[in-house]
Structure 1
Amino acid sequence: MPKAKLFQLDGKESSIEVSKAFSDGKINHDLLYRAVQSYLINQRQGTRAVKSRGQVAGSGKKPWPQKHTGRARHGSFQSPIWTGGGITHGPQPANFEFNLPKKMKKHALLSAIRARFQEERVTFIDKLEFERPKTKEAAALLERLGLPQEEKILVLVSKSENELPVRKSFSNLPRVNLALAIAVSPYEIIYHDRLLVTSGALEELTARVN
């Protein structure tokens, strides 16, 4: 297994074994496109709606008699051509769900991770611990690791590390987001310029793609 540099919270360095599947292999751009498309489409709520003439409140009374008034014929106050009437062919609630098969999801995630690995935009840290929420400490940590804050950074943590002090310490930093390794999507990885991955998160990522 290839090895990568592993940083400690106190600034010391060691090494960590990384799955060959992450560092080697081809990037399937078509599959990445489909995964990103699926993620973005599934963000749609599909709840926008307007009322048709049959849904607008009001009586069914005819505005005026059909003949002998000299005015144009009308049959309903809810007609689309009246102010306050229904909308013709307006949007209605819809389900836009678009899911990929499990194998495609797995290989899309693998391609996203490979893309960042091959660009050398992944930094490993042993673990993340904060006694209390402190944005200043989180910013200082990123600076020590040489992660430029003008770039978008995704911090990947394991389920056990997803604690309130860790989440809040990073939440106020612009262009920095935190995600769980067991749930991160290919879109989130590709959207961010750099990854900061804990050793626990790396284990969970490896388990997901194996």
Structure 2
Amino acid sequence: MVSCTIKDWTGTDTGEASLDLRVANEQNAPHIVHRALRRQLVNSRQGTASAKTRSEVSGGGRKPWRQKGTGRARAGSSRSPLWRGGGVIFGPKPRDFEVKMNRKERRLALRTALQSRVQDLIVVEDFNDQLPRPKTRDLVSALTRWGIGLEDKVLLITAEKQENTYLSARNIGNLKLILATNLNVYDLLAADRIVITAPALEKIQEVYSDS
């Protein structure tokens, strides 16, 4: 169990919250988190790259010149891979890059990745009522009060989609907003600081618990 200080909108400490998740042991943690990260990155590939072989390139039906007597090399088609405008040898074709991983392992990797970032984790009270209208400047000021630098890559996690928070956050280039139910290993590891609302922390422990 890990204890985290809860901050309010002004940056004042108002209480404590606990993060209690079952994680991988020290020996296996790097391996399982790496597998989950690789799976996420590889599975995001579309796999739609495609190049035409000599049989798929249009044209080339006529033999360019006769077989013998010209002094030139033999050629049977102008769509040979050796020719400009010809086909591609061993070019890419559409394929599925999917890497599979057991659900229990994926969830264990996710919990391990989250708890490994506890030193960079900031828990705040739900602040949607502090944004009666979308205001990027107000959210940037709040991030500063929470001790986050202007150049830090920030991952903001909320329990549910809140329109004013979303509209205020979307213009901040180094901030990414996700829901507690959409956690993923890449975002947890890529961020410099992680800001999570208290309701989102409760939801994470509810959704990703080991029960």
TM-score normalised by length of structure 1: 0.88
Cα 1:25–1:61 change in 2 (3 A) is closer
Structure 2 unmatched runs, 5+:
none
1:3: how far off?
Answer: 4.8
Contact 1:25 1:114 in 2 (8 A): no
Contact 1:3 1:15 in 2 (8 A): no
Instruction: Report the AA paired with residue 177 of structure 2.
Output: L
Give, in whole Å, the separation in 1 of the partners of 2:111 and 2:84. Answer: 55
Question: Does residue 171 of structure 2 align to residue 183 of structure 1?
Answer: no
Instruction: Report the AA paired with residue 46 of structure 1.
Output: G
**Superposition RMSD in Å:** 2.1
Quote the residue 2:39 is aligned against: 38
Quote the residue 1:21 is aligned against: 21
Quote the residue 1:7 is aligned against: 7
Quote the residue 1:168 is aligned against: 167
Residues 117-128 of structure 1 aligned to structure 2 (within 5 Å):
117=118, 120-128=119-127
Matched residue pairs, number?
205
Give, in whole Å, the separation in 2 of the partners of 1:191 and 1:57. Answer: 45
Give, in whole Å, the separation in 1 of the partners of 2:2 and 2:90. Answer: 59
Quote the residue 2:95 is aligned against: 94
Question: Does residue 159 of structure 2 align to residue 158 of structure 1?
Answer: yes
After TM superposition, what 4+ stretches of structure 1 lie above 4 angstroms from structure 2? 24-27
TM-score normalised by length of structure 2: 0.87
1:144-192 deviation digits (Å, cap 9, x = unpaired):
1122222221100112xx2332122122223221111101102211111
Contact 2:20 2:205 in 1 (8 A): no
Give, in whole Å, the separation in 1 of the partners of 2:11 and 2:153. Answer: 22
Cα 1:95–1:145 change in 2 (3 A) is same
User: Percentage identity across aligned positions?
Assistant: 32
Quote the residue 1:200 is aligned against: 199
